[in-house]
Chain A
Amino acid sequence: MAALDQAETPDADTREIGDVLLRVDRISLYFGGVRALNNISFEVREHEILAIIGPNGAGKSSMLNVINGFYHPQEGTITYRGKTRSRMRPYQAAAQGIARTFQNIALFKGMSTLDNIMTGRLLKMHQPFWMQALYWGPAQREEIEHRKFCEEIIDFLEIQHIRKTPVGRLPYGLQKRVELGRALAAQPTLLLLDEPMAGMNVEEKEDMCRFILDINEEFGTTIALIEHDMGVVMDISDRVVVLDYGRKLADGPPDSVRSDPAVVSAYLGVGHD
């Protein structure tokens, strides 16, 4: 899997939490009268796995949408890799190494698994289009290289058997995996996962956990994920941010967050799984 490594990633396996990669600062986001995010600040550090948790409607997905530029907050700033902005744009976010998956899977349903993953690599393709159209020399070489890279991702995620299958026909669990593959194809610095394990059975969840941990350890990718399964969250995350009704309730290592009275009462109040 050497090719999957990022250039800027130091040694694999000796994962060390580094500097602040992303800082959201006093972000507020409204939809009409609804305050989806209320003055939220937190940081994501290099190479860590950060979990964002909270009851339904807490604003978790909205937070990810703000980070990759789908939503534009009315207040606050986002500092990513040292550059402060009042809003991201999706293209900007992708070009700067932010990749993501969606709560309600957003795949290219008509395309095969391989094509989906290749599309995730679009920004890495640099040959001019007329060379590609003629499939000529350097363009051909580039295409083959990208193809090889995507095959590595396919091996890594153990989805060789569905390489050519149109993803619309795949079962839910596999679709989630392909979506993760497409995000990985961009060799992201920051990977945003919106409920990567929702709707999966125990076995599928275990696989997904393993992939997430491997991605983080082997490639040093920083991961921010949203997850409802507290067992999973406690197992894999380095730090947890808790949201409730658009506010931040707590922020810290899993153990301290779990025993935080505000968190306990929010969760008891809603009765989440």
Chain B
Amino acid sequence: MEGFLSDIFIAPFVSMWEYPVFLVEVLVGGLLVGVMYSLVALGFVLIFKASGVFNFAQGAMVLFAALFFAGFLEAGMPVWLALGASAVVMVALAIVTERVVLRPLVNQPPIVLFMATIGLTFFLDGFGQMIWGSDIKVIDIGIPKEPLEIHGVLINSFDIVAGVTAGLLVAGLALFFHYTKIGRALRAVADDHQAALSVGIPLQSIWVIVWSVAGLVALVAGIMWGSSLGVQFSLALVALKALPVLILGGFTSIPGAIVGGLIIGASEKIGEVYWGPALGGAIEDWHAYMIAMVFLLFRPQGLFGEKIIERV
């Protein structure tokens, strides 16, 4: 018992203190993975803000996008063409979703829309596999996988590429939604549908834009995760990692999604490395949720405290 307590309360900190370089390695690795979580969480937040829909299908969209990308590669397309073609597929998906799911259900209670996205999930899983089959696909776009040494710190170069790509995308989106009229329109729609309509914001175009962005975000996440895990059904579950991020960051806050992703990514890695052995390993599945839950007790409105918006 004493040994166990020391393994939890003393040993991890001693080892952090004694091997700071290793701690930095773990931390950086965690942050880079965290950016990916931010990316997926961002997809959720955008859709939730703009349409009040909790998009259950976000994970399925990741898998769907990755399937198409991998399929296009297999069909012999060069990487850039496969990327463009899958992006077109995701935008088309956004247009169809707006037309077939959102528009007919406008002004229905959120739970109805939520159910509709569950339906969308099954459709995406089924349709994607119908076209591309259910075999595991490999995505290899030539991202190096060897560890890289920077100032004595070893970092997985794949994590760097993924992290930097996701970081750039997140920064670009933040810029886009903060400084453009589309961003202003999005905030207006999130705040009050009726008022937004009255100043001439075309609600349906905003929905298409937001679902397209969520689709593109899913595509990038799908490519990155698909490259390291292979394109298979479990990819859809990766999106579940975004849930604790959302709890932490708040469902309506873009900065919350970004910072929340980083926090979850980093603490997940640190927990896994330092506390995992004492707790019998495999803690990465649940301890992000635990962090989020504990956090929730103290700040139910999430990191950045945007209050929960009631909508008409």
Residues of A within 8 A of B (CB): 68, 70, 90-91, 93-95, 99-100, 102, 106-111, 115, 118-120, 122-123, 125, 129-130, 132-135, 182, 186
B57-65, B142-150, B195-203 - the one binding chain A: B195-203
B189-214 contacts to A (CB < 8 Å): 191-192, 194-202
Could you list 4 further interchain pairs (A-B, Cβ under 8 angstroms) beyond the known A102-B195, A119-B185, A133-B179? A70-B194, A102-B198, A110-B306, A122-B184
> Which residue, of A91, A120, A134, A186, has the highest number of chain B Cβ atoms within 10 A?
A91
Q: Chain B's interface: helix, strand, loop or mixed, by majority?
A: helix
- Do the beta carbons of A129 and B191 come within 8 Å of each other? no
5 CB contacts below 8 A, A to B, read A94-B199, A122-B188, A132-B181, A182-B199, A186-B200
| Any A CB within 8 A of the CB of B108 | no
B175 at the interface (CB under 8 A from A): yes
- Contact at B198–A129, with CB atoms within 8 Å? no
Interface residues of B in 173-189 (CB under 8 A from A): 175-176, 179-182, 184-185, 187-188
Q: Are A129 and B182 in contact (CB under 8 A)?
A: yes
Tell me the smallest distance from the CB of A153 to a CB of chain B, in Å: 14
Q: When A129-B181, A132-B180 are in contact, do A99 and B198 touch as well, CB less than 8 Å?
A: yes
Q: Are A106 and B188 in contact (CB under 8 A)?
A: no
Residues in A neighbouring B175, C-beta threshold 8 A = 133-134
Complex CA–CA separation, A119 to B186 (angstroms): 10
Q: Does B184 contact A106, Cβ atoms closer than 8 Å? A: no
Q: Are B187 and A111 in contact (CB under 8 A)?
A: yes
CB-based contact A100/B198 at 8 Å: yes
Cα distance A212–B129 when bound, in Å?
62
- The verdict on A122 contacting B198 (CB below 8 Å), with A109-B191, A133-B179 known, is no
> What's the Cα separation between A81 and B46 when bound, in Å?
38
Could you tell me the distance between the alpha carbons of A94 and B185 in the complex, rounded to whole angstroms?
Answer: 14
Residues of B within 8 A of A134 (CB): 175
